[in-house]
C-alpha cells in the first residue's frame, strides 16, 4: 500500500484541496441563502406575521387590513374597521377575490349577503356611534398572485394584491 506524502505542515494526509475549496464555497453560498430566507421570514415576506406581511387600505374613517403575503391552504384573516354611520354597514369584495380565497367565517356574522354589480356585499348591523370591527377568516385555495378589490359602505372600491406562497 502506498503512503501519502508528508505535507509541509507535518501531516501525512492525502486530500483533494481543489475539491475541498469548491465545497467550502458552496457551503458559504448555502449559509448566505439560508440567512436571507431567515431575514425574509422575520420581515414577513413569507407570510404569517412580520412588518411587511400585511397592508392597510384606508377608506375615509375606516380601513381594511389584508394579508400582503399568505400561504396556500393555510388560514389567514382580513380585518376591517367600518366607520360609524347609519345602522347598516357594508363590506364589499369583488368576484376576483373568490378565485383565490375561500371565506371560512365572518365575525360578527352579517345579517344579509347579496351579489351586486361590484361583487359580494356583506351587510352588518351595529351601533351608529361606534366603528364596527370586522374579521374575515379566509383560506387561500391556490398559490399565485391574487389581485382583487374591496370596498366599505359604498365608497369607491380599491385594488389590492396578495401573494400566495405554495
Question: What count of Cα atoms within 13 Å lies in the side-chain half-sphere of residue 92?
Answer: 17
Q: pLDDT digits over 34-53, tens only?
A: 999 999 888 888 877 778 88
pTM: 0.77
CA distance 141 to 123: 25
pLDDT of residue 146: 93
**Tell me: the pLDDT tens digits for 124-145?**
988 888 888 999 999 999 999 9
Q: Residue 119 in contact with residue 149, Cβ under 8 Å?
A: yes
- Gap between the Cα atoms of 120 and 114, Å rounded: 6
What domains appear along the chain, each with residue ranges and CATH number? Answer: 54-165 (2.60.40.680)
Amino acid at each position: 500500500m502506498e503512503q501519502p506524502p508528508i505535507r509541509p505542515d507535518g501531516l501525512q494526509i492525502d486530500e483533494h484541496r481543489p475539491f475541498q475549496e469548491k465545497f467550502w464555497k458552496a457551503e458559504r453560498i448555502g449559509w448566505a441563502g439560508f440567512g436571507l430566507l431567515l431575514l425574509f421570514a422575520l420581515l414577513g415576506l413569507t407570510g404569517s406575521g412580520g412588518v411587511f406581511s400585511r397592508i392597510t387600505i384606508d377608506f375615509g374613517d375606516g380601513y381594511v387590513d389584508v394579508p400582503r403575503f399568505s400561504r396556500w391552504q393555510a388560514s389567514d384573516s382580513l380585518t376591517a374597521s367600518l366607520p360609524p354611520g347609519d345602522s347598516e354597514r357594508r363590506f364589499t369584495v369583488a368576484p376576483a377575490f373568490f378565485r383565490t380565497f375561500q371565506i371560512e367565517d365572518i365575525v360578527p356574522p352579517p345579517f344579509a349577503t347579496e351579489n351586486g354589480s361590484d361583487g359580494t356585499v356583506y351587510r352588518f348591523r351595529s351601533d351608529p356611534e361606534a366603528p364596527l370591527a370586522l374579521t374575515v377568516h379566509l383560506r387561500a385555495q391556490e398559490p399565485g398572485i391574487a389581485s382583487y378589490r374591496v370596498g366599505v359602505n359604498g365608497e369607491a372600491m380599491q385594488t389590492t394584491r396578495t401573494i400566495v406562497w405554495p
